[in-house]
Amino acid sequence: MAVQISTLYSYVRALPVTAGPLCRVRADFQRASVRFNLTVATGRSHLGGQPATGPLRGHIKKLSTSQATTAEAIQKSSQGNGASSRRWRRGWLLGKVTLGAVIGVSSAALVQSLHTGTVAAMARKVNLTSADGNWKDTKDFLLSLSVKDRRQYYRTTDFVPLDDIPVWTPSADGPKPGLYPRNEKLDQKISLYTGDITKLEIDAIVNAANNTLLGGGGVDGAIHRAAGPVLKKECASLHGCETGEAKITCGYGLPAKYVIHTVGPIAQGGVGEEQRKALRSCYDNSLKTATENSARSVAFPCISTGIYGYPPEKAVHEALATVREYLDEHHDKLDRVIFCVFLPTDKELYMQNLPLYFPAASPESTVRSKL
């Protein structure tokens, strides 16, 4: 217990705050540390002055007489001054630390309480409409929040939660046999969504970026505008991205927690083996980056099919095949992969080809299972 309190005290002293709410938190914690020593020294808990029990009793027996005498002197001094006594009892942190010390709350839980105070103090400083300030601090702050708490920083109000994105369900009477065998573990993991990818409230959206990662046209420009100027500052620190690779940033003003930036191949002169492998690498590396950062839901736009000239009717097969093969090996690491399309022609392509890569159970197997 003493080690836990010592750890917490070191944490508070390390906080780089000289004024404001955290300054008061630090002062309260210092008083709480002294009071914890009093508890251990005198053998009395803070709950009505009853004798301490449990793990504290072992600590009490180890204290020397001089430590106990010093602690009692401090306690009497504080009780002699009414204002000091009131200050002694003041502060949410004092209550949390002393009560936690008595009932055995872990130091990790108390550190989380401290961090909550840090977050509250910093919240007033976050400005996602300006590139001023330290993007690293802003990123750390936003990534520390729950989905509910992060919503106040979205730069859009009409976001779409994951639960509102329908799951694609294969039809048992599909017109073609599947190119891949049936895998029941992949059920409920695929979605086809028509709309704006910047509205999706999920773990990660994929950006069809250019090599600079500094924004551009199409979906790239839309993502940068929706996220705000801080996104560009973090992207600048990544020093570009090679074709087929993927790099991750915070989502900032987006409902998505992360943005995974990947650079698709230019195929205006035709599609060869080099372009095909590069496009598959975009999807594969984006999925790897998502799982490495514990993102369990990820949405893809149609990579390279715009001004980069990759024929949509060919790109859809590379996208579906790569996602299918990744999920076959890592189905436990992702809850949902969303193919986000904007044009009706792209939606039709996915509707036609999804059953080839994620087939339903055959009618014969369905009948046998019922029997």
Whether 357 maps to a domain, the answer reads yes
Check: CB of residue 131 under 8 Å from CB of residue 252.
no
Instruction: For residue 263, tell me if it sits in a domain.
Output: yes
Give domain status of residue 242, yes or no. yes
250-291 residue pLDDT tens: 999 999 999 999 999 999 888 999 999 999 999 999 999 999
Q: Degrees (nearest 5) of the Cα angle 334, 336, 340? A: 135
Give residue 41's identity as a one-letter amino acid code. A
Rounded to whole angstroms, the Cα distance separating 255 from 252 reads 8
Look up the pTM and report it. Answer: 0.69
Q: Do 363 and 222 share a structural domain? A: yes
**Can you give the CATH number for the domain in which 307 is found?**
3.40.220.10
Of the residues 60, 82, 115, which one is the last residue of a structural domain?
115
Tell me, yes or no, whether 202 and 323 share the same domain: yes
Structural domain count of the chain: 2
pLDDT at position 311: 97
Phi, psi dihedral angles at 193 (to 5 degrees): -120, 130
215 and 337 together in one domain: yes
pLDDT digits (tens, 9 = 90+) for 161-192: 999 999 998 876 655 678 999 999 999 999 99
Flag whether 226 is in a domain: yes
Q: pLDDT > 90: what percent of the chain?
A: 59
Whether residues 247 and 309 share a domain: the answer is yes
Same domain, 109 and 182: no
Angle of helix 21-42 relative to helix 65-79, nearest 10 degrees, comes to 130
Q: What is the CA radius of gyration of the chain?
A: 28
User: Can you tell me the distance from the alpha carbon of 93 to that of 118, in angstroms, rounded to the nearest whole number?
Assistant: 12
Domain annotation covers residue 136: no
Half-sphere exposure of 133 (CA within 13 A, CB side): 18
Of 115, 145, 170, which residue is a domain's last? 115
**Domain check: are 67 and 172 in the same one?**
no
278 lies in some domain:
yes
- Quote the domain boundaries for residue 251: 162-370
* Torsion over CA: 158, 161, 164, 165 (sign): positive
Confidence of residue 126 (pLDDT cuts 50, 70, 90): confident
173 and 26 in a common domain: no
Q: How far apart are CA 248 and CA 218, in angstroms?
A: 19
In a domain, 94, yes or no: yes
Question: Angle at Cα 106 formed by Cα 101 and Cα 109, nearest 5°?
Answer: 110
Report the C-alpha gap between 319 and 302 in whole angstroms. 8
